[in-house]
Amino acid sequence: MAETGADKNAVIIKKYANRRLYNTATSSYVTLDHLCQMVKDGVEFAVYDAKSGDDITRSVLTQIIVEEESKGGQNLLPINFLRQLISFYGDNLQFLVPRYLEHTMEYFARNQEQMRNYMRDTFGGIFPFGRFEDLGKQNIAFFERALKMFAPFQGVPGNSETGEAPPATPDTASLADLKSQLDSLQRRLDSLNPQKPDKSK
């Protein structure tokens, strides 16, 4: 059986040939909208093909995203982001992208309530672009550095004329430094306490 996207206590959803989704916990058929709400409610579930038993959770979650993106005013994925994401398929650094995206979303989700309170109390619900854009730029800088650090895996040969050896594999110190940068981003988010905006800018 393929890799599962949920733990052992997850609700089991079965998908039949007629594309109907069956919730085994409630003994009822459900829709993608139901599964979307379950995600928002924090209910863990895994989807299996009723005939083959294959775990198809990933493809069903992707379907939910496509459905949500097709709704007016619900777009979360910028076009440039989608283009860049597609370009990484088959790339030597493809293995690095999922972990980076996972880390980024974990940091964002961990601080989402703090962000909401900050926007509500300080800006009346208006997003403070300047403060969070700075954090986004730091995150991008971290990703670019990670790409450079893992350059050896791209199979770049050494310089045959000068006898220069290929770059060394990233060592423990380099990985620790990257982790330190992630921790630094977390501390920056934690330091965003509600305060009045600087009107002098």
Per-residue pLDDT tens for 177-190? 656 666 665 566 56
| For residue 171, pLDDT beyond 80 | no
Are the CB atoms for 46 and 58 separated by under 8 Å? Answer: no
User: Which residue has better confidence, 150 or 184?
Assistant: 184
Domain edges within the chain: 11-70, 79-190
Tokens of 77: 């994925």
User: Which residue has better confidence, 179 or 35?
Assistant: 35
**Alpha-carbon span 19 to 10, nearest angstrom:** 21
* Cα 103 versus chain centre, distance: 7
pLDDT tens by residue, 117-135: 776 776 565 555 555 555 5
Tokens of 171: 């060592």
Residues near 153 by beta carbon (within 8 Å), at least 6 away in sequence: 92, 93
Tokens of 185: 């981003």
Positive or negative: CA dihedral 133, 104, 186, 110? positive
* Cα 25 versus chain centre, distance: 28
Residue 167 is classified by DSSP as: P
**Alpha-carbon span 186 to 113, nearest angstrom:** 14
Tokens of 123: 């800006």
Residue whose structure tokens are 């928002």: 40
Tell me what the pLDDT averaged over the chain comes to: 74
**Alpha-carbon span 105 to 102, nearest angstrom:** 5
